[in-house]
């Protein structure tokens, strides 16, 4: 089931008594979630992710705009008639019911031709429990489960009515780091197997990158960029997106163009096709550095971290105030740690330029 948002806006009246301005939690969202795909809504806390999800589920009504499931305009359809499955950060299981009862609960009150017998309900519950791999835990109470298992029960409960769309709001936030990794792989697998169109909300870029077919990067209620994870990472439209994605983060420097030459601080790092002399912001991805004694970029060496196959050179640069620069290079390269500085050449595709004030991407080429 494809999901389409068409100029969807949600405004809330301000909670601030002095300043009466409305909060625009979701500002003119237009995008299509292709059938059977998993889309990640990514952005910092307060950027409108949950509101966007609630608009799709029907728990909230848009101030303006339309939402379609397939070709059906469902903007005015109440949540229980939309055929959505919801999973939240806190699993919200019924503590006095067993796992099996929690999963069959949404099937209890089906009416008319949807009505199911107890045997059918249990059969369905076991099928779904098997899918999320908790079929061995059906007689337990939620308190007898780990956080990861509880979240699987919540996912099973969301799936048991065979929803047209699955909506997950930060479903992994309450899990510890290891379980988080494991459960996100599980969600990816379940989504692949069921092919249910899924919206996955997270503030964690790593999570969004690893799980999503498409990422929607949001800031203050406004969509910044939509694309495949790799596209958004390597081709960000602005500095916000560039900084939000990537671990270690992109190195950000004050730079300028002078007679076509790109300078980072005082370091000339390459001739460009840009003709206007201007100050700008330079971003370099950690994998964009090549260790080279002739390199134009001269950094102050702080140390070296071994990361298995790769090493991370930790350094600072006068044109990158407040930031430690991490450069990832192959561990076969030898770094002379007795020297105070380290020099780099730069990989052209990994150097991104941004407008100093707007932060918008400036396209260019090295020549
Ligand atoms: P996120 O899920 O990305 O953290 P939310 O969608 O919860 O963000 O919130 C987006 C913005 O809308 C925030 O500024 C938040 O304070 C505001 N907001 C959310 N729900 C309400 C509400 N019911 N009333 C007023 N403001 C709200
Ligand atoms: Mg939220």
Q: Based on the number of CB atoms within 10 Å of its own CB, is 220 exposed (0-12), middle (13-18) or buried (19 or more)?
A: middle
- State whether residue 268 is helix, strand or coil: strand
Please name the residues in contact with 344: beta carbons below 8 A apart, sequence gap of 6 or more: 289, 290, 291, 292, 295, 296, 297, 299, 327
Which of 14, 21, 25 most suits a substitution to test ligand 1, by most atoms within 8 Å of the C-beta? 25
Instruction: Give the model confidence (pLDDT) of 4-15 as tens digits.
Output: 999 999 999 887
Instruction: Please report the sign of the dihedral spanned by the C-alpha atoms of residue 55, residue 57, residue 59, residue 61.
Output: positive
With CA atoms as reference, report the closest residue to 236 among 221, 261, 219: 219
With CA atoms as reference, report the closest residue to 127 among 98, 160, 152, 151: 160
Residue nearest to atom 6 of ligand 1 (CA): 48
With CA atoms as reference, report the closest residue to 151 among 131, 126, 134: 134
CB-CB neighbours of 351 under 10 Å:
24
- State whether residue 233 is helix, strand or coil: helix
How far, in Å, from the CA of 170 to the mean position of ligand 2? 7
Residue nearest to atom 13 of ligand 1 (CA): 46
Please name the residues in contact with 259: beta carbons below 8 A apart, sequence gap of 6 or more: 277
Residue nearest to atom 23 of ligand 1 (CA): 12
Q: Which ligand is nearest to the CA of 61?
A: 1
How far, in Å, from the CA of 48 to the mean position of ligand 1? 6
Cα-flanking dihedrals φ and ψ of residue 6, to 5°? Answer: -125, 105
**If you write DSSP's letter for every residue of 55-119 in order, what string do you get?**
HHHTSS--SEEEEEETTEE-TTS-GGGTTEEEE-SS----TTS-HHHHHHHHHHT--GGG---HH
Which of 16, 48, 86, 205 most suits a substitution to test ligand 1, by most atoms within 8 Å of the C-beta? 48
Place of tokens 């409960």: 157
At residue 306 the predicted structure's pLDDT band, cuts being 50, 70 and 90, is: confident
Place of tokens 């919206």: 199
Instruction: Give the model confidence (pLDDT) of 168-177 as tens digits.
Output: 999 998 888 8
Residue nearest to atom 7 of ligand 1 (CA): 50
Whole-model pTM: value is: 0.93
Q: Is the predicted pLDDT of residue 62 greater than 80, yes or no?
A: yes
Domains of the chain, with CATH numbers?
3-239 (3.40.50.300), 251-362 (no CATH)
Instruction: Give the model confidence (pLDDT) of 249-295 as tens digits.
Output: 999 999 999 999 999 999 999 999 999 999 999 999 999 999 999 99
- State whether residue 362 is helix, strand or coil: strand
Give the Å distances, CA to CA, from 312 to 190, 246, 267: 35, 14, 22
Give the Å distances, CA to CA, from 130 to 85, 153, 294, 328: 18, 11, 59, 41
At residue 21 the predicted structure's pLDDT band, cuts being 50, 70 and 90, is: confident
pLDDT at 322: 86
CB 38 within 8 A of CB 212: yes
Q: β-strand 165-169 against 84-87: which pairing, if any?
A: parallel
How far, in Å, from the CA of 36 to the mean position of ligand 2? 23
Contact residues of ligand 1, CB 6 A cut-off: 12, 15, 23, 25, 43, 45-51
Residue nearest to atom 11 of ligand 1 (CA): 25
Ranking 169-173, 183-187, 330-334 by mean pLDDT, the lowest is 330-334
Across residues 33-50, what is the average pLDDT? 97
Residue nearest to atom 1 of ligand 1 (CA): 46
With CA atoms as reference, report the closest residue to 28 among 221, 220, 203, 202: 221
Work out which ligand 1 atom sits closest to the CA atom of 218: 3
Q: Which ligand is nearest to the CA of 10?
A: 1
Residues in the chain: 367
- State whether residue 35 is helix, strand or coil: coil
């Amino acid at each position: 089931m494809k999901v389409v948002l068409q100029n969807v806006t949600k405004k809330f009246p301000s909670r601030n008594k002095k300043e009466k301005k409305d909060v625009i939690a979701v500002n003119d969202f237009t995008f299509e979630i292709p059938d059977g795909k998993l889309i990640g809504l990514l952005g910092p806390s307060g950027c409108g992710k949950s509101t966007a999800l609630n608009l799709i589920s029907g728990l909230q009504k848009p101030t303006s705009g339309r939402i379609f499931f397939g070709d059906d305009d469902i903007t005015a359809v109440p949540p229980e008639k939309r055929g959505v499955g919801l999973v939240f950060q806190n699993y919200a299981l019924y503590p006095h019911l067993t796992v099996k009862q929690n999963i069959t609960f949404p099937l209890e009150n089906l009416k008319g031709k949807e009505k199911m017998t107890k045997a059918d309900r249990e059969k369905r519950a076991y099928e779904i429990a098997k899918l999320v791999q908790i079929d061995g835990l059906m007689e337990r109470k939620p308190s007898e489960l780990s956080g990861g298992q509880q979240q699987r029960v919540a996912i099973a409960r969301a799936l048991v009515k065979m929803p047209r769309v699955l909506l997950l709001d930060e479903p992994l936030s309450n899990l510890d780091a290891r379980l988080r990794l494991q459960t996100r792989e599980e969600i990816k697998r379940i989504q692949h197997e069921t092919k249910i169109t899924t919206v996955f909300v997270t503030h964690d870029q790593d999570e969004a990158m690893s799980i999503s077919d498409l990422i929607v990067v949001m800031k203050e209620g406004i969509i910044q960029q939509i694309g495949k994870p790799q596209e958004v990472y390597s081709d960000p439209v602005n500095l916000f997106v560039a900084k939000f994605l990537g671990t270690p983060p992109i190195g950000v420097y004050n730079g300028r163009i002078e007679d076509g030459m790109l300078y980072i601080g005082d370091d000339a790092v390459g001739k460009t096709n840009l003709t206007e002399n201007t100050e700008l912001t330079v971003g370099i991805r950690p994998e964009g550095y090549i260790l080279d004694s002739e390199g134009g970029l001269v950094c102050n060496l702080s140390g070296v971290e071994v990361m298995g196959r790769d090493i991370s050179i930790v350094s600072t640069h006068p044109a990158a105030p407040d930031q430690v620069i991490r450069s990832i290079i192959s561990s076969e390269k030898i770094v002379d740690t007795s020297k105070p500085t380290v020099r780099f050449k730069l990989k052209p595709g990994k150097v991104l330029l941004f407008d100093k004030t707007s932060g918008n991407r400036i396209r260019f080429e090295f020549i």
